[in-house]
Structure 1
Amino acid sequence: MQSSKVLILLLNAIHLVIASHAGDQVVDQSYGQQESDKHIIGSKEEFRILLKQKRSQQLAAIKTLNSFGRYEQKYTMVDNIFSKLFEVQQNAKQTIENSSYVLGLDLPTDGHQLESLSQIIENCAFFGDIVLRLPDISHRVLTTHHEYQVLYRWCISFAIASDLCDKNTLKMFDLLAQELSLEPKDDSYVNPYKKSNKAKSRLNSDIPIERTNGDNNNKKSAKRIQKVTKRGPRLSKSKTEL
């Protein structure tokens, strides 16, 4: 029974990775599901609203994953999710790089390009939330898959510069950059989900990762995001700085 629940959760998580909220959504037939959504998003604001909804679904899946007691089960699931996620991200990246889409400007009108754009940002957010909420397992997986690093650096930079993320998602990316040591950690940065920090804190798994210095840290976060946005990702390069 437990193994069946694990399989269902894994398939649902992979479905979240493959199916974007934009363009034609097609799920691998090998998973027994296929759906089509012909609605094309017309504005950045609509994109941000749908991104919030998708992140809510993703966070629910992560919460369920985190409820499993066995460490190795969690590890196997995160490893499988990351594998599919980065496969989808690589394909979406190639589509966007070969398109006429200009980062930060109007949304593409082509459904396939819009779907790829959505996948990049949604999956980057999914990746970030998994890393922040399952940091020990995520770091272990990433340590064994060095090939992911160039792609997740590119995706984070792309998402921040896209002008398609709401404030909470941008804040998450800022925290993610610190967790992955892509940016120096603020003195007040603490991830309560890390095993080494749980013994020092009474925070439970539903409490968000955040800083404790209020406005000062919000200003630092805004400056960091602004700095990244000004530099912007280089879509024609294989490496992008965050």
Structure 2
Amino acid sequence: MVLRLPDIVHEMYDKDRDWQIVMAWAWWFCSESNIFEGSSAKLLNLMAQEVNLVPKEDYYHNPFKAANQKQEQEKEYTKTKPILKSKKKKERRKGPRLSGPSHTEL
């Protein structure tokens, strides 16, 4: 939940000292026990960076934060921004035209 809903979690987590203590202990226990391997260990590390249990690395970026989502949307819009072409007016042909009932008899 910390990684997927960071804005909602931070509203509650940052205010509640008990949650911070429990989260720090749980992260320490999981890290020291080496239960998590591979991608699970990576997610545990990212969670710790999100809640500032460990220093954030230079490349850390949570795409689920509202501020980051707006930046991503703006980047995506500029990449796929439609190029507006000016519409050319159709030129009317000059000269004799077929009109009236004789037009259908041909």
**Fold match (TM-score > 0.5):** yes
Q: Trace 1:127-206 onto structure 2 (pairs within 5 A).
A: 130-202=1-73
Counterpart-to-counterpart distance in 2, 1:132 and 1:158: 19
Root-mean-square deviation (CA, aligned residues, Å) is 1.2
SS of the equivalent of 2:7 reads helix
**1:159-218, CA deviations, whole angstroms, 9 ceiling, x for partnerless residues?**
11112212111101111111111111111111000000001115xxxxxxxxxxxxxxxx
Q: Trace 1:35-46 onto structure 2 (pairs within 5 A).
A: none
Give the CA deviation at 1:143. Answer: 2.4
Unmatched tracts of structure 1, length 5 or more: 1-129, 203-242
Q: 1:196 to 1:157 in 2, by over 3 A?
A: same
The number of aligned residues is 73
Q: 1:166 to 1:183 in 2, by over 3 A?
A: same
Counterpart-to-counterpart distance in 2, 1:146 and 1:195: 24
Counterpart-to-counterpart distance in 2, 1:201 and 1:143: 25
Identity %: 36
Q: Which has the higher helix share?
A: 1
Unmatched tracts of structure 2, length 5 or more: 74-106
Give the CA deviation at 1:153. Answer: 0.3
SS of the equivalent of 2:30 reads helix
Moved over 2 A (4+): none
Give the CA deviation at 1:144. Answer: 3.0
Instruction: Identify the structure with bigger relative contact order (alpha carbons < 8 Å, sequence gap 6+).
Output: 2
Amino acid at match of 2:32: A
TM-score by structure 2 length?
A: 0.63
